[in-house]
């Protein structure tokens, strides 16, 4: 009989997921962030070893090709990459990604990105009570010229995706 062996990285991930512990509320999902695609999209493995892409609820970060897109991705990586998180599912988007609030030690990833000036509150989709608090964080970052708000007229990603791209070109800062 042949024994199956798991690579050490799989064993390490299993141990980390096992140490996440119980979460509250009951519909919350414990997960571990394996990859950061961009500022508002991550790939996680949950406690049942299912991989899934997660769209961070309530915000929209600059696209990778936009100014501050790379910085938003770095901030997200700094906050949650290779760390246990709690997902508070909201819905599935049109790409079948889980849209969820992402928390690390009860701190919201959305709030961290907004406070750093690396995201907009996505008014079209952000309809929970927390969105008002996040709008205040965005307003403060804007008034203090943090992150992308140092630019004279930053283009929101939803406009940029429709083709209203900046003539200034790509910048990472």
| Pairing of β 51-56 and β 59-60 | unpaired
CB-CB contact of 133 with 139 (8 Å)? no
The residues pairing with 85 across neighbouring beta strands, listed in sequence order, are: 31
d(CA 119, CA 130): 15
From the list 160, 98, 159, 109, the residue with the least C-alpha distance to 137 is 109
Instruction: Based on the residue annotation, tell me whether 55 is a catalytic residue of this protein.
Output: yes
| Active-site annotation holds for 97 | yes
Report the sign of the C-alpha dihedral through residues 162, 168, 170, 173, in that order: negative
Residue of 63, 79, 108, 138 marked catalytic:
63
Nearest alpha carbon to residue 150 among 127, 173, 130: 173
Catalytic pick among 53, 83, 97, 140: 97
Positions marked catalytic: 55, 63, 97
């Amino acid at each position: 009989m042949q024994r199956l062996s798991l690579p050490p990285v799989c064993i390490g991930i299993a141990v980390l997921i096992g140490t996440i512990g119980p979460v509250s509320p009951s519909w919350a999902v414990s997960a571990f962030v394996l990859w950061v695609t961009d500022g508002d999209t991550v790939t996680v493995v949950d406690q049942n070893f299912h991989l899934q892409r997660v769209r961070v609820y309530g915000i929209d970060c600059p696209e990778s090709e936009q100014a501050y897109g790379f910085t938003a991705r770095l901030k997200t990586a700094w906050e949650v990459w290779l760390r246990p998180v709690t997902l508070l599912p909201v819905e599935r988007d049109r790409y079948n990604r889980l849209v969820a609030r992402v928390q690390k030690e009860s701190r919201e990833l959305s709030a961290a990105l907004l406070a750093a000036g690396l995201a907009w509150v996505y008014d079209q989709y952000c309809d929970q009570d927390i969105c008002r608090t996040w709008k205040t964080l965005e307003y403060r970052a804007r008034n203090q010229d943090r992150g992308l708000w140092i630019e004279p007229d930053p283009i929101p990603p939803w406009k940029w995706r429709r083709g209203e791209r900046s003539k200034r070109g790509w910048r990472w800062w």
